[in-house]
Amino acid sequence: MNIPNLIKRIIWFDLDAYFLFTEPDRQFISSISPPSNGELVELDEVEEGVTKLLAFRPDQIKGLLYKRYQSGDRCFAFNNESGVKGYFWVGFGCSPKLDEFASCLKKEANPILLYDAYVDSSMRGRKIHPNLMAFSVKQVDPELRKNWFSFVGVKNLSALKNSRKFFKRHKLVYHVTFDVIGFKFNFYPKFQREDWHET
């Protein structure tokens, strides 16, 4: 093996761009109609939640799901007669997401992170995604007194469209991940210098 290939195996990095959204819109949340073809629920029982999530998407890492529950994160889902067809995670101060990918938010007062949303392809276009966001916020923070955030990749057009309606403000942020022999380091260049914009 030559030296350049060896270095690539030892040190790896990735640069991505995201829109960071904040301040859920109370008016939008109250105006959205709940889905008529299923129900919105919280998967609050750990074993049942992990089982249902893996049945829906077997590619998920079982240990990571347990880690999320153990940290206090909560999972909200859309169910129909076939089972889980969509979900959204909500992360709090001890969330693995806040310790890793979203570490830049640790400086915020009591941050809450909406993350890792997924809706089955057969259910897309039926407002399941915004309904899950609204349901999650209503269950966790009905008075909207907390600092809510959500990262959306710049190429995820569907999620961007929903998030622009759901949140009042956003800003563009850049994220760099360094992986050195299995140890990951996350950086947000220019995070503090980027301005918030009205959506």
State the pLDDT at residue 176. 87
pLDDT for res 106: 81
For every residue of 68-133, which 3-state class applies, written as one string? HHHHCCEEEEEEECCEEEEEEEEECCCCHHHHCCCHHHHHCCCEEEEEEEEECHHHCCCCHHHHHH
| Alpha carbons 66 and 153: distance in angstroms, whole number | 25
**Residue from 33, 30, 18 nearest 137 by CA:** 30
- Note the pLDDT of residue 131: 96
The predicted pLDDT at position 10 comes to 63
Q: What is the pLDDT of residue 184?
A: 77
Contacts of 145 (CB under 8 A, 6+ apart): none
Q: For residue 87, how far is the Cα from the chain centroid?
A: 10
CATH code for position 148: 3.40.630.30
Chain center to CA of 63:
18
pLDDT, averaged in runs of 10, over the chain (199 residues)? 57 83 95 91 97 97 96 97 96 88 85 95 92 96 93 94 96 86 78 84
Task: Count the domains in the chain.
Answer: 1
CA 50 and chain centroid, separation: 17
Which domain range does residue 56 map to? Answer: 3-198
Amino acid 81: pLDDT: 92
pLDDT at 5: 59
Question: Which residues neighbour 26 within 8 Å (Cβ) at sequence distance 6 or greater?
Answer: 144
